[in-house]
């Protein structure tokens, strides 16, 4: 039986890993500059946490969660996103009593049973940030600017930072009604999902990728002119701060988020280089969520980056090249050579030099082939002849130059090339 991975879930092989590591280390470094600390939560939670947190009327909760009963009949789900878990951990740990304000960054796999296509998977990875306890629009703007800076720091420039306000409990229902009425006039032109949305959650129609729906709602009334005074002031203030931070953005009133908890600020980073799955990151403000999940009435704002999509964009911009190998290969011929080499290799590795060697007594030719395959920059050859002289041959694989050194001097030699 030959097994394959589950549809929509992929392996990340060593040949691809350097882009992932770069993304992760850059995120921890950049977000650390703004005070975000790493948090790690389990990938399985009670299903109810997501139903409450994300909203029962959302696609994610309705159709896309991997949920199952465990042996003691608890209903559990693989996390489809990170925010609900992070808020749960914040409340459960009592961090809100000790710290009040908290800034977290998380990295990890998320699971949604979507229809797989380019840029959309069933297991995908996100880097996310959450700032809890802050209501001033400065934090919204700072987070948006931080995301923008993060992408630039990776070398990306093919993206647009788009912002919107989704209103609040006071003004959004009013707008929903107006927009719902508008959708009714287009009923016949809408897909079945959007027809259903008229009753459940009209705003979601803006998320629909169906070209007929996009055309039908092109002239729809927009939320921008239906915001209450507080929401409008908040939104203007976010824009003022973004200008002070020097972050370029566009206002797009058609940005709605797929998760119910967002209110006021919503934002996305989009690109035209990836086809229809064009959002590389998105987030917004979620002031009611901490309370809804059993905590105090504290505001919050956060966003999540889709790592697969960012890596695709890095590849499209030639920024995802594999790091040059820094491996040294020891080609050893015969038992005496091994005996001499083993302690040298051991101490070199402990000095921080990456070494691979032949374990199986292959011919020199086949050992050199392996060294080539792993792109070793240097090969150390110790054969019978060398052993007899107490020497090793050091071959520079790029220039093909060789030099003979005393086995006892190998450590010094590598420490020398390291500096
Ligand atoms: P969300 O958690 O839905 O707000 O999404 C945040 C970001 O995660 C999106 O902008 C995408 O970049 C990424 N994302 C969401 N769903 C998927 C998926 N199924 N496959 C790959 N990336 C995704």
SS (H, E, C) the chain: CCCCCCCCCCCCCHHHHHHHHHHHHHHHHHHHHCCCEECCCCCEEEHHHHHHHHCCCCHHHHHHCCEEECCCCCEEEECCCCHHHHHHHHHHCCHHHHCCCEEEEEEEEEECCCCCECCECCEEEEEEEEEECCCCHHHHHHHHHHHHHHHHHCCCCCCEEEEEECCCCCCHHHHHHHHHHHHHHCHHHCCHHHHHHHHHCHHHHHHCCCHHHHHHCCCCCCHHHHCCHHHHHHHHHHHHHHHHCCCCCEECCCCCCCCCCCEEEEEEEECCCCCCCCEEEEEEECCCHHHHCCCCCCCEEEEEEEHHHHHHHHHHCCCCCCCCCCEEEEEECCHHHHHHHHHHHHHHHHCCCEEEECCCCCCHHHHHHHHHHCCCCEEEEECHHHHHHCEEEEEECCCCCEEEEEHHHHHHHHHHHHC
pLDDT tens-digit profile of 364-404? Answer: 999 999 999 989 999 999 998 888 899 999 999 999 999 99
Give the ligand 1 atom nearest the CA of 310.
Answer: 12
User: What whole-number distance in Å separates Cα of residue 345 and Cα of residue 335?
Assistant: 15
pLDDT at residue 415, as a whole number: 63
> Cβ(121) to ligand 1 under 6 A?
yes
User: What whole-number distance in Å separates Cα of residue 112 and Cα of residue 67?
Assistant: 10
**Cα(81) to centroid of ligand 1, in Å?**
8
| Structural domains of the chain, with CATH | 17-171+227-316 (3.30.930.10), 327-413 (3.40.50.800)
> Cβ(125) to ligand 1 under 6 A?
no
Nearest to 203 by CA among 184, 232, 175: 175
pLDDT at residue 78, as a whole number: 98
Look up residue 348 and give its two tokens: 């070199």
Measured in degrees and rounded to the nearest 5, phi and psi for residue 102 equal: -140, 140
Nearest to 242 by CA among 146, 142, 386: 142
Residue nearest to atom 23 of ligand 1 (CA): 306
Give the ligand 1 atom nearest the CA of 269.
Answer: 10
User: What whole-number distance in Å separates Cα of residue 60 and Cα of residue 70?
Assistant: 21
Q: Which residues contact 181 (CB under 8 A, 6 or more apart)?
A: none
Give the ligand 1 atom nearest the CA of 112.
Answer: 19
Pairing of strands 327-332, 354-357: parallel
> Cβ(379) to ligand 1 under 6 A?
no
Give the ligand 1 atom nearest the CA of 305.
Answer: 7
> Cβ(306) to ligand 1 under 6 A?
yes
User: What whole-number distance in Å separates Cα of residue 410 and Cα of residue 393?
Assistant: 10
> Cβ(279) to ligand 1 under 6 A?
yes
Give the ligand 1 atom nearest the CA of 281.
Answer: 10
Whole-structure pTM value: 0.91
> Cβ(309) to ligand 1 under 6 A?
yes
**Cα(80) to centroid of ligand 1, in Å?**
9
**Cα(306) to centroid of ligand 1, in Å?**
5
> Cβ(128) to ligand 1 under 6 A?
no
Work out the burial of residue 413: count CB atoms within 10 Å of its CB; fewer than 13 is exposed, 13-18 middle, 19 or more buried.
Answer: middle
pLDDT at residue 209, as a whole number: 83
| Ligand 1 pocket: which of 109, 276, 304, 314 to mutate (most atoms within 8 A of CB) | 304
pLDDT tens-digit profile of 267-317? Answer: 999 999 998 889 999 999 999 999 999 999 999 999 999 999 999 999 998
Residue nearest to atom 15 of ligand 1 (CA): 306
> Cβ(285) to ligand 1 under 6 A?
no
Low-confidence residues of the chain, pLDDT below 70?
322-323, 415-419
Residue 95: CB atoms within 10 Å: 18
> Cβ(124) to ligand 1 under 6 A?
yes
Tokens 């996305």 belong to 268
């Amino acid at each position: 039986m030959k097994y394959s991975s589950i549809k929509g879930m992929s392996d990340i092989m060593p040949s691809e890993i350097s882009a992932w590591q770069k993304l992760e280390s850059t995120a921890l470094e950049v977000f650390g500059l703004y005070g975000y600390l790493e948090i790690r939560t389990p990938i399985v939670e009670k299903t109810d946490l997501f139903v409450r947190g994300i909203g029962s009327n959302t696609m994610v909760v309705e159709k896309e969660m991997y949920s199952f009963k465990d042996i003691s009949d608890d209903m559990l789900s693989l996390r489809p996103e990170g925010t609900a878990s992070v808020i749960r951990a914040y409340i459960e740990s009592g961090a809100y009593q000790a710290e009040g304000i908290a800034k977290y960054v998380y990295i990890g796999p998320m699971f949604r049973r979507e229809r797989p296509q380019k840029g959309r998977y069933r297991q995908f990875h996100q880097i996310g940030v959450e700032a809890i306890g802050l209501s001033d629009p400065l934090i919204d703007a700072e987070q948006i600017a931080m995301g923008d800076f993060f992408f630039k720091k990776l070398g990306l420039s093919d993206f647009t930072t788009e912002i919107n306000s989704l209103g609040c409990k006071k003004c959004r229902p009013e707008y929903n009604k107006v927009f719902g009425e508008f959708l009714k006039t287009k009923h016949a032109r809408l897909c079945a999902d959007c027809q259903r949305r008229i009753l459940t959650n009209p705003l979601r129609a803006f998320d629909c990728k169906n070209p007929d729906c996009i055309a039908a709602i092109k002239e729809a009334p927009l939320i921008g002119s239906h915001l209450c005074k507080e929401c409008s002031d908040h939104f203007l203030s976010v824009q003022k701060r973004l200008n002070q931070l020097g972050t370029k953005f566009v206002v797009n009133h058609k940005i709605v988020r797929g998760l119910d908890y967002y209110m006021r600020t919503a934002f996305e980073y989009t690109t035209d280089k990836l086809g229809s799955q064009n959002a590389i990151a998105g987030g917004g403000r979620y002031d009611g969520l901490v309370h809804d999940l059993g905590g105090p009435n504290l505001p919050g704002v956060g966003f999540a980056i889709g790592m697969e999509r960012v890596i695709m964009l890095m590849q499209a911009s030639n920024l995802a090249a594999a790091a040059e190998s820094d491996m040294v290969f020891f080609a050893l011929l015969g038992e005496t050579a091994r005996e001499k080499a083993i302690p040298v290799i051991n101490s070199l590795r402990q000095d921080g030099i990456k070494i691979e060697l032949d374990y199986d007594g292959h011919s020199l030719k086949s050992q050199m082939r392996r060294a080539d395959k792993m792109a070793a920059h240097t090969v150390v050859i110790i054969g019978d002849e060398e052993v007899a002289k107490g020497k090793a041959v050091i071959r520079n694989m790029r220039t093909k130059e060789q030099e003979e050194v005393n086995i006892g001097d190998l450590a010094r030699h590598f420490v020398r090339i390291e500096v």
